[in-house]
């Protein structure tokens, strides 16, 4: 009997030790993943990310993440994101909860002081120990308030400052991370903006994306879908657009960066009249991978100086801030980047238009790496770039108004544009893009 009792005690002790060991492992893995995430975010010169107030235990942990966005200019306070959290550790998963607050202009909170919301962003999540997977759900609060739109000037026309009523129905966002693979899905039910001139209602916005890799090599894709948008100008009928979609996908490998952009607009109507639908697809390729990486690094390192010069409207300072980017831009052009218009559609029953198109535009990069940008003036640089551009565009069913504007006969043939050696050719008619005089170096 005593032997069985001893054996039972041994089993209990071993099981208890195994349980506590599993708890300790779960807690340790959670802390290790948090450290990796913070290090990854803190690597960018635009961000300063840290974790403090850490209380780590086998069953419960807590702490606070702080992320400071620094690239806002020398005279501006950084944007600070504070994320306190609590974690409960189990054998197979760790559960998480907390909130997130954004502070601007010192101690002003975005959700509370700037925006009259009921509270900050709240979130829950779980970390699956065996799969090493993090799942989180964020709820961005709704708000309704009046904001002031600053004055603006476009093409010499000044729009004065005005008050606008802004209503945001909140945002639900799901994030999932496994290793270096991150995916997100978000939904925003309503965004309503109204002033004395226009009423805009955006309904059912959906956001989705994936990211895998790092800043040296990656594959990423993002999409935005808006099922319904209604614009009502003051005193005019409403314009409704259905199924607006944007999608971008890019891949960076050892040699090349490739990017595709697709945009589509479903039927747009004014009252009972259909006025437009269409879309396009673009592909950017032949972008040298090393040149892109160098340009991204140079941009990160000089972003604060560039933004400060833009804010001060200082052309001389902006030129100085952009100078470190010149070698990587030159290397990018030397790789002969190529942009193609894979397809274009534009339909308008009201205008009797059913247009289809495709085309391409490229740069001949041979010899560009030998350019001395310090001795080339702006006119010479423009001339060299235009002469190196080659492309074509074909439009079937181009609208009559466009043909009239270009001074072309009204026939049923396609509109064809060709660009080569600084000459633009439109349906066989040549149009020089450069002056005949030589450029000064």
Question: What is the residue-wise DSSP string for 351-384?
Answer: TTEEEEEEEEEEE--TTGGG--TTT--HHHHHHH
Please answer whether residues 346 and 355 qualify as being in contact, where contact means their C-beta atoms are separated by less than 8 angstroms.
yes
Classify residue 354 by burial, with Cβ atoms within 10 Å: 0-12, 13-18, 19+.
Answer: middle
Give the residue carrying structure tokens 């002469």: 387
pLDDT of residue 248: 96
Helix (H, G, I), strand (E, B) or coil at 81: strand
- Measured CA to CA, the distance from residue 44 to residue 373 in angstroms comes to 29
Helix axes 289-312, 315-322, angle to 10 degrees: 160
Query: What is the Cα–Cα distance from 280 to 263, expressed in whole angstroms?
Result: 6
The end-to-end CA distance of the chain, in Å, is 102
Q: Return the H-helix or E-strand segment holding 290.
A: helix 289-312
d(CA 358, CA 147): 42
Nearest CA to 164 among 150, 146, 142?
A: 146
The per-residue pLDDT for 436 is 57
| Tokens read off for 331 | 């290397």
How many angstroms separate the CA atoms of 358 and 391, rounded? 11
Backbone angles phi, psi at 295, to 5 degrees: -65, -40
Give which of 366, 297, 284 is closest to 327, Cα–Cα.
Answer: 297
Helix, coil or strand: residue 34? helix
pLDDT for 438 equals: 43
CA distance 143 to 211: 30
Q: What is the pLDDT of residue 5?
A: 41
Element (H, E) at 176: strand 171-178
pLDDT tens series, the chain, 441 aa: 444 443 343 334 443 444 344 445 556 667 777 777 777 776 776 778 888 888 877 678 888 888 888 766 556 677 888 889 888 877 788 888 999 888 887 788 888 888 888 889 999 999 887 888 889 999 999 999 888 888 877 767 887 888 889 999 999 999 998 888 889 999 999 999 998 889 999 999 999 999 998 888 999 999 999 999 999 999 899 999 999 999 999 999 999 999 999 999 999 999 888 999 999 999 999 999 999 999 988 988 888 788 888 878 888 888 888 889 889 999 999 999 999 999 999 999 888 889 999 999 999 999 888 888 777 787 888 888 888 999 999 999 888 788 888 777 777 778 899 999 888 898 888 877 766 544 444
Nearest 5°: the CA angle 41, 47, 49 is 60
Report whether 121 contacts 140 (CB < 8 A): yes
Tokens 């502070």: give the residue: 103
Spatial distance between the Cα atoms of 82 and 63, rounded to a whole number of angstroms: 11
| pLDDT for residue 59 | 76
Can you count the helices (H) and strands (E) in the chain?
Answer: 6, 24
Residue with tokens 């050696």: 421
């Amino acid at each position: 009997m005593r032997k069985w009792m001893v054996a039972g005690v041994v089993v209990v002790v071993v099981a208890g030790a195994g349980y506590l060991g599993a708890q300790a492992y779960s807690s340790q893995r959670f802390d290790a993943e948090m450290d990796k995430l913070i290090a990854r975010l803190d690597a960018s010169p635009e961000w300063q990310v840290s974790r403090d107030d850490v209380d780590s235990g086998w069953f419960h942990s807590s702490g606070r993440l702080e992320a400071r966005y620094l690239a806002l200019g020398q005279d501006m306070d950084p944007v600070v994101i504070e994320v306190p959290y609590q974690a409960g550790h189990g054998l197979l998963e760790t559960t998480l909860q907390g909130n997130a607050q954004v502070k601007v202009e010192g101690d002003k909170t975005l959700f509370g002081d700037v925006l009259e919301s009921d509270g900050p962003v709240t979130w829950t999540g779980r970390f699956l120990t065996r799969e090493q997977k993090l799942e989180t759900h964020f709820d961005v609060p709704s708000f309704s308030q009046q904001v002031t739109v600053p004055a603006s000037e476009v093409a010499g026309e000044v729009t004065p400052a005005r008050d606008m009523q802004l209503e945001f129905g909140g945002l639900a966002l799901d994030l999932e991370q496994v290793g270096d693979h991150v995916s997100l899905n978000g939904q925003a039910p309503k965004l309503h903006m109204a002033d004395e001139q226009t009423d805009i209602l955006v309904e059912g916005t959906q956001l989705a994306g994936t990211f895998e890799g790092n800043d040296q090599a990656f594959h990423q894709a993002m999409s935005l879908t808006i099922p319904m948008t209604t614009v009502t100008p003051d005193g005019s009928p409403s314009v409704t657009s259905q199924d607006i979609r944007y999608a971008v996908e890019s891949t960076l490998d050892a040699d090349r960066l490739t990017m595709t952009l697709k945009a589509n607009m479903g039927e747009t109507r004014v009252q009972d009249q259909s006025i437009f639908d269409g879309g396009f697809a673009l592909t950017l390729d032949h972008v040298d991978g090393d040149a892109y990486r160098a340009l991204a690094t140079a941009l990160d390192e000089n972003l604060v100086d560039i933004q400060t010069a833009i804010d001060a409207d200082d052309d001389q300072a902006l030129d100085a801030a952009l100078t470190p980017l010149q070698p990587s831009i030159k290397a990018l052009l030397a790789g002969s980047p190529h942009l193609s218009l894979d397809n274009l559609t534009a339909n308008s029953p009201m205008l009797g238009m059913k247009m289809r198109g495709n085309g391409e535009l490229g740069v001949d990069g041979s010899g560009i790496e030998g350019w001395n940008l310090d001795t080339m003036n702006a006119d010479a640089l423009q001339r060299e770039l235009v002469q190196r551009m080659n492309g074509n565009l074909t439009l079937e069913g181009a609208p009559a108004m466009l043909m009239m504007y270009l001074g072309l006969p009204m026939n049923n043939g396609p509109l064809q544009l060709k660009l080569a050696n600084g000459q633009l050719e439109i349906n066989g008619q040549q149009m020089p893009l450069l002056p005949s005089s030589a450029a000064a170096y």
